[in-house]
Amino acid sequence: MLLTNPQKSSGTVEKKETVDAWMTPSDHLEDIQVSPDGDNVAAMFVNKEGETQLCVNGQRWEHGFERLWYPRFSPDNRLTALAWDGEAWTLIVDDQVWDSRFDYAWNTGFSQDGHHIMVVFQKDGTYGLCLDDQPWTTSFPGIGHAAISPDGTRTAAAVQMEKISEGDIFSFQQGVFSTAVDGEAWTKNFVNIWDPVFSHDGKKTAAAVRLNLYDYSVAVNGEAWRKCFECVWKPRFQPDTDDVVAPVRKGQSWTLAKNGNLFWKNRFTQLWHPEFNHDGSKLAAVVAPAFGVWSVAVNDTVWKLDRFDAITGLTYSPDGSRLAAVGMKKGRHTLIYDGKSCNRFCERVWPPVFSPDSRHIAARIETNGRYTVILDGRVWDRTYDKVWDPVFDDANDALVIRAFDKGQYLKIRAPLSHF
């Protein structure tokens, strides 16, 4: 049973765009995208000439392409899309086309503030990353796990250092993968590299590695920990110290290791997604204390929750004092936070969003086949065809609901008191 406020309010509609009116019958609507601030709504059309075009708030962009895909707004509200002009791929940002041209480009990524934009590219059969229209000067036979530093000035990826023939298992086992940072590879190769991450100042990189078919470890700036494990997952840098922690499997159970040494005392059936809060004082992870039983552990203490089948979307509040996630049980979702379950289950819940003052938690939800938002356990009284993640205003007194309903995009300011 979901609670709603009997004092119904539809909030203040601050923006309305009739997206359906932008179309002519020959157009074909692709996915609608909405900017984080809710002020821009973009749709992709195939125009009468067969070109694909983007249209923002009813204004068509000047540039049309043989193919556009993956339209995405950056955190600073710029609209990007990958574009194919019939000869090469590039990126278009707010209707400005990058100079760089590739045989393929994909996986657009952004720095946390959105000021820097990255894509993965393939050119002449070799691979690299391109940051702010500047491609790596070195490219590689293979690439994966692209990453961007927190300030957005550096990029890294797992790269294949040499071509090997399919079926050449022995060369593979010698190690042909490394991590490249800004196009420059670590000096050592590994059998596998997964999930490179940057330190908070962007000066160091760490990644999960496989030294041979059996020994897993974490490498920091190319140097593997001195200890090996049965398996490892994605590492994390501690914000205040640059120590590296990672989930490790030892003796058929999982725990956390720091700089190669076992760090947490508890042992788990599973442990992944370790996350530090902003000052490093808290370290949380999704854990399975027993087979099929999922919870969250904070500083090695497990939340005492009802049994969950899975947990995702671990999110800290801005001040780092609170933690929330999405719990799944029998195919239904709920929010869990501060060690407790919200116990309001619905079809789907998206990762939680905290208010700037860390006091409130909101999320996008699907209930009875319609979409709306939930705030501190209370559901907004209107539902829509689609909603995007809610956004708190800076004053902490209203929630911006970005919704699409009956062909119209709506930006709604909903006072928190109206929930």
What's the CA gap between 178 and 196, in Å, rounded? 10
Q: Binding other proteins by CB under 8 A: which of 47, 57, 107, 221?
A: 107
What's the CA gap between 89 and 98, in Å, rounded? 10
Residues that contact other proteins, how many (by CB under 8 A): 53
Query: What mask, x for binding other proteins by CB under 8 A, covers residues 136 to 165?
Result: ------xxx---------------x-----
Q: Quick one: how far is CA 128 from the chain centroid?
A: 21
For position 177 contacting other proteins by CB under 8 A, the verdict is yes
Name which of 6 and 331 has its Cβ closer to other proteins. Answer: 331
Candidate segments 181-189, 238-246, 248-256, 296-304, binder of other proteins by CB under 8 A: 248-256
CA dist list (Å): 361 to 82, 123, 134 = 34, 44, 39
Candidate segments 197-205, 209-217, 297-305, 401-409, binder of other proteins by CB under 8 A: 209-217
For position 386 contacting other proteins by CB under 8 A, the verdict is yes
Sheet containing 89-93: order of strands: 67-73, 79-84, 89-93, 96-97
Name which of 103 and 113 has its Cβ closer to other proteins. Answer: 103
For position 231 contacting other proteins by CB under 8 A, the verdict is yes
Pick from 362, 349, 351, 348: nearest CA to 393: 362
Candidate segments 147-155, 197-205, 218-226, 309-317, binder of other proteins by CB under 8 A: 309-317
For position 328 contacting other proteins by CB under 8 A, the verdict is yes
Q: Binding other proteins by CB under 8 A: which of 113, 184, 309, 385?
A: 309
What's the CA gap between 325 and 341, in Å, rounded? 9
For position 180 contacting other proteins by CB under 8 A, the verdict is no
Residues from 69 through 88 that contact other proteins (CB under 8 A): 69-70
What's the CA gap between 63 and 52, in Å, rounded? 9
For position 31 contacting other proteins by CB under 8 A, the verdict is yes
Dihedral (Cα; 21, 27, 29, 34), 10-degree rounding:
-50
Cβ 310 vs Cβ 329: under 8 Å: no
Pick from 218, 294, 296, 230: nearest CA to 258: 218
Q: Quick one: how far is CA 280 from the chain centroid?
A: 21
For position 404 contacting other proteins by CB under 8 A, the verdict is no
For position 127 contacting other proteins by CB under 8 A, the verdict is yes
What the block records as the tokens of 369 is: 């086949």
Residues that bind other proteins (CB under 8 A): 28, 30-31, 67, 69-70, 103-104, 106-107, 120, 122, 127, 142-144, 160, 166-170, 172-173, 177, 191-192, 194, 210, 213-214, 216, 230-231, 249, 251-252, 269-270, 272, 288, 291-292, 294, 309-310, 312, 328, 331, 347-348, 350, 386
